[in-house]
Every structure is written in structure tokens, then in C-alpha cells.
Amino acid sequence: MTTIAFIGLGNMGNPMAKNLVSAGHTVNGFDLVEANLATAMKNGVTVSSSAADALNGAEVVITMLPAGQHVVSVYSELVPKAAKGTLFIDSSTIDVDSARKAHQLAKDHQMLSVDAPVSGGVGGADAGTLTFMAGGTEQAFAKAGPVLEPMAGRIVHCGEPGSGQAAKICNNMILGISMIAVGEAFALGEKLGLSHQALFDVASTSSGQCWSINTYCPVPGPVPTSPANNGYKPGFAAALMVKDLNLAQQAAQSVGAITPLGAEAAQLYRLFDATGNGGTDFSGIINFLRGGTK
């Protein structure tokens, strides 16, 4: 079994660390927030007094932090202090440039590193069924696989360092755009006198089918487990969709990719967020498209 330093024990990090403990690993955890440390302790995590303290005996460091600057800052502190050959795994969703910077810091100090952002949300983190999208060398990925396994439903090696983040933001750009498309279609269908169930029965089995309609339908009824049946409680909060769509736009600009629908989706979700809906599930944008939210 492995000793793992886990930095960032928030909504995602704490349940992920809990699953590593359940798999028999020793987890040294650190977060800036006392309440998160208390939860971690209840889950069997050994609470550390600082990020550097969490390195004690660690062969693997996992970070689950808000944004690129936090990851680069933690790597800058920990990489020079870690034992040679330590594997660094960053599972935060961050910009590709910061991910590559973090990899470079690790490489400069003879560490192995993988960027491994996730999809599946807090539910997937809790159930240990996250999809990991990994970027890094074959050697680093081979070592990361067994560590990620207790937290994962699926692990995909996407390619070179930074590829995991690239896959994550491309996937979420599809998701943001497709949810708006599905929301517009239902809003139009309503005005044309179509029932939600009729449109769902047709589109979910025809060329309109996609995850946003088949699994996460944004109107109450057709898919009982979708947040539309629960007052649009997240789920996946709109503020996180804004973050991911902004990262996609930042990446598109940095490589000169043309993403007009990604840009429009980012703009619509920013407006949805700015009108007080950041904590609403992202599928609630249908109400905004109808002109019906605060």
C-alpha cells in the first residue's frame, strides 16, 4: 500500500481521499479550511499541519485545488522538497498552460507527473466512479493507474502532459453547448404546443440524442433523476460550467482555434451566473433561455 499526500480536501478532494483510505492507502491530507480537515480526519485521513508536512513518507502527491495558480504554487513549494521519483497527480480542472508548467516543475526535479482531471462530480467522487482523463508519459501513467483506481470508474490516457486538461475542457465545451441546444429546443417545443414527453421520446431516440437530453434532460418528467426534478439543485453548478467554458475559450485563443459556439455558450453561462444563478444546476439555463429566471 502507498503513502499519499492529498492537498485540497474540498467538495471533491474529501470523498476522493476517503476512497483511497478505504482501499488501504495511508493518506496524509492538508487543506486551508479547518472544517475540511475535520471531515478528512473522520474519514481516516492523517491530517497534516501544512502541505510540506503531508509529504512525510509520501510516494505520491495528489492535488485537488480550485485553479491553475493554486496548483503551480503548491507544486513550486512541494516539488523541491519531495523524495526523488515521487509521482505528482493533479486532478483539479485548470488551464492547459498551468498544467504544462506544473509538469515542467516536476520534470526539472526528476519527479513523475500526470494531469488527471475528472468528470462525474461530487456524486462520482463519493461513489468512486469518476472518469479520469490523464496526460503524461507512459511511465508516469503506468504508475498513476493503480493509485487512481479506487476513485475511478474509468481512466483514459489522453496523451502527452496537458492532454488530460485538454480533453476535459473540450468535453465540457460540448456539454455546455449541447445543454443550451436542448434547452432551446424544449423552449421552442413548448411554444409550438409539443409536450415535453413527446419531444423527449422523439429526440432521445433520433438524431438529436445526446447526454444533455438522454441522461440530464433539463425539463421535469422524462428523466426522473435529472436536476430539473429537484428544483435545479446541483448536480453540476452553473458557476463551474462558466469556469470550464472560460478555460476552453482561453485555450482556443492560445492556439488560434475557432470556437464560435463555445464562445456563445460561455457568454450565455456568464450572464446566467451574473444574474444570481451560479449555484443553480447548469441545466437550469433553460429557464434563462425562456426569460424566466431572476
Q: In terms of CB distance, is 120 or 136 closer to ligand NAD?
A: 120
Contacts of residue 165, Cβ cutoff 8 Å, sequence gap at least 6: 93, 94, 95, 96, 99, 115, 117, 133, 135, 247
Q: In terms of CB distance, is 164 or 189 closer to ligand NAD?
A: 164
Please say whether the beta carbons of 51 and 7 come within 8 A.
yes
- Assess 93 for contact with ligand NAD (CB under 6 A): yes
List 4, 8, 19, 39, residue binding ligand NAD (CB under 6 A):
8
- Assess 39 for contact with ligand NAD (CB under 6 A): no
Residues with active-site annotation: 168
Contacts of residue 81, Cβ cutoff 8 Å, sequence gap at least 6: 52, 55
Q: What is the dihedral of CA 80, 83, 84, 87, to 10 degrees?
A: -90
Q: In terms of CB distance, is 31 or 115 closer to ligand NAD?
A: 31
Residue 46: phi and psi, rounded to 5, are -85, 115
- Assess 74 for contact with ligand NAD (CB under 6 A): yes
Matching residue, cell 434547452 = 183
**Residue 194's CB: how many other CB atoms inside 10 A?**
15
The least CB distance from residue 81 to ligand NAD, in Å, is 14
- Assess 30 for contact with ligand NAD (CB under 6 A): yes
Residue 279 identity (one-letter amino acid) = G
Please say whether the beta carbons of 235 and 241 come within 8 A.
no
Q: In terms of CB distance, is 62 or 203 closer to ligand NAD?
A: 62
Q: How far apart are CA 168 and CA 173, in angstroms?
A: 9
Q: How far apart are CA 64 and CA 185, in angstroms?
A: 36
Q: In terms of CB distance, is 92 or 287 closer to ligand NAD?
A: 92
- Assess 36 for contact with ligand NAD (CB under 6 A): yes
Stretch that binds ligand NAD, among 60-68, 95-103, 104-112, 198-206 (CB under 6 A): 60-68
* Assigned C-alpha cell, 261: 459556439
Stretch that binds ligand NAD, among 3-11, 106-114, 153-161, 273-281 (CB under 6 A): 3-11
* Assigned C-alpha cell, 200: 423527449
Residues 209-228 close enough to bind ligand NAD by CB under 6 A: none
The least CB distance from residue 190 to ligand NAD, in Å, is 29
- Residues in contact with ligand NAD, shown as a per-residue x/- string from 95 to 134 under the rule CB under 6 A: -----------------------x--xx------------
Residues within the interface to ligand NAD (CB under 6 A)? 7-13, 30-33, 36, 51, 64-66, 70, 74, 92-93, 118, 121-122, 236, 240, 243
